[in-house]
Amino acid sequence: MVDSNNRKFNRRSILESIGAAGALIGFSGVTSAVPGRSPGPKNSELIVGVDPDGSGVEAELQSSLPPNAEIVHTNETLSYAAVSVSDEGDNPTKETVREDLHDAETVRYTENNETYRALEVTPPDSNATVPDSAGDGDDAAPLYTPDDPRYGSQYAPQQVNCETAWEKTLGDPNVTISVVDQGIQYDHPNLEGTVSDGVSNGGYDFVDDDGDPYPTSESESHGTHVGGIAAGGTDNGTGHAGISNCTLLSARVLSASGGGSLSDIADAIQWSADQGADVINLSLGGGTPTDLMAEACQYAYSNGSLLVAAAGNDYGGSVSYPAAYDSVVAVSSLDESEQLSDFSNVGPEIDLAAPGTKVLSSVPWDRYDSYSGTSMASPVVAGVAGLTLSAWPSLSPQELRAHLTRTAVDVGLSDVEQGSGRVDAGNAVTTDPDSSPDPDPDPDPDPGTCGDEVTNATADGEFSGGWWGNPSDTYTYQLETSDPCRAIVTLEGPESADFDLYLTLDGRTPTTLDYDERSVSQDANEEIPVDLTGNETLGILVRRYQGGGAYTLSIEERGR
């Protein structure tokens, strides 16, 4: 339990006592909310879009309102008003007011002030903290090994090939990623070096309408976790490694309960773009499209920001909004084996896939934990976008989006599950955006058929069951065919057991954290097919997860 006298809880009361001086610097076109407007979801309000060519939002709308309707917030840049409607007595209902306003000459649209929520699979366990010690790791050094002590417990940066990208850049602080979410603990030991110092307190609080986007309770951890994924301090000797060391901007739009209003989120998207955010991450969503959210996203995209959003966690449901808008990069979630996370939404709107199951990052207060959700996959893509802009700063949002999709890796899922593929930081950073593959490469005059030459090898082993049984066996296989093109590694074990299979292609000994391919299922029969070029040496790990018994490891190698 956090001490109630801790400065992290006192920070906001101090701010309120002295006033939020300068809090609206750079926050153009938005009028502060009237006193008493409730934070978080605003279900009693309507959103009314007004003709931008008129004499102002309030002036155009005021004469059309009944006595029980009050303008409580306006945004001249996006040209809308939030209208609070009281349903007491014989006054018109909110729906009646909405229908009447919709017919007004200067009104473009009317809609409810919808509630959006953080797209995390389950509420975090506030008592669950990743141990201080790093993972077991591996003897083989990757291209770039950050010195963050928890890096060995991570898999997301490795899965998206950050180690290759980090050889060129860890992320330029001049590239800004805005996290539109719950508040970020901006003095977290692993975030204080990446949170913007160009804006008061690193951002703005749209929930409480002040200049301090700091978490208000122990349960408000989503924004800190998302921010740490995208831009946690990498190679700083502290905590975990974020995808990038780009600069974080915090826009607090979700309350401690995880809900936030359409109007607050739209304002935050516009504000982020006006602050010059290169990338805007939206790990939140709702079920239906709205005019205001579509206009806010298009405004940011047209004004230089790439928007990245979580696809949603409805276990195969349709893609949530705002991810489903054309102006937004929609991200689905993968697990550690690069399979689609069972909770991830899917659909033709999916642009990219990224790791989102049990992703390690920062949480309040000064801690670390692993969360799951498309909320976690989205900032992985946002962080890769930041790395890419660090390497190729002249890319427009449209060019950056095309480059990320062109350099993505096909992990064998359908288009509606992975879009263009799993985002790849190494490919995006090291591939010149101006280059293009040869559309008609010269074919091999006589490539032969894969399978003209076949070599088989087998090995038998056995795991004893129980807690003291041997946990794994390792093997190395040298290719035998003259022109190798494909191998299929198969593991067959007893029905009562659960075995896993891991594979490397350079002969290094695989671990559960370091491997090139993996097959994991809830039984003892696994199979990994891989394409070969002839330069590979297969390293194989057979792991006992549960149970024991005899097994047979088979390798079918095919050549031309």
**Which candidate in 181, 205, 267, 351 is catalytic?**
181
Contacts of 390 (CB under 8 A, 6+ apart): 169, 171, 172, 175, 244, 246, 429
Contact 502, 512 (CB under 8 A): yes
Beta strands in 258-346 (DSSP E): 259-261, 279-282, 284-285, 306-310, 328-334
User: Which pairing describes strands 69-75 and 80-85: parallel, antiparallel, or unpaired?
Assistant: antiparallel
What are the backbone dihedrals phi and psi of residue 60, each rounded to the nearest 5 degrees, phi first?
-75, -25
214 vs 121: CA distance, rounded Å: 23
* 102 has catalytic annotation: no
**Which candidate in 73, 222, 225, 240 is catalytic?**
222
* 73 has catalytic annotation: no
Contact 373, 314 (CB under 8 A): no
Beta strands in 257-340 (DSSP E): 259-261, 279-282, 284-285, 306-310, 328-334
Contacts of 136 (CB under 8 A, 6+ apart): 152, 511, 512, 513
* 362 has catalytic annotation: no
182 vs 224: CA distance, rounded Å: 8
305 vs 290: CA distance, rounded Å: 20
Contact 407, 392 (CB under 8 A): no
Write the secondary structure of 101-162 as one string of H (helix), E (strand) and C (coil). HHCCCCEEEEEECCEEEECCCCCCCCCCCCCCCCCCCCCCCCCCCCCCCCHHHCCHHHHCCH
**Which candidate in 84, 370, 372, 375 is catalytic?**
375
281 vs 223: CA distance, rounded Å: 10
The DSSP symbol for 63 reads G
Contacts of 7 (CB under 8 A, 6+ apart): none
151 vs 250: CA distance, rounded Å: 24
* Catalytic site positions: 181, 222, 375
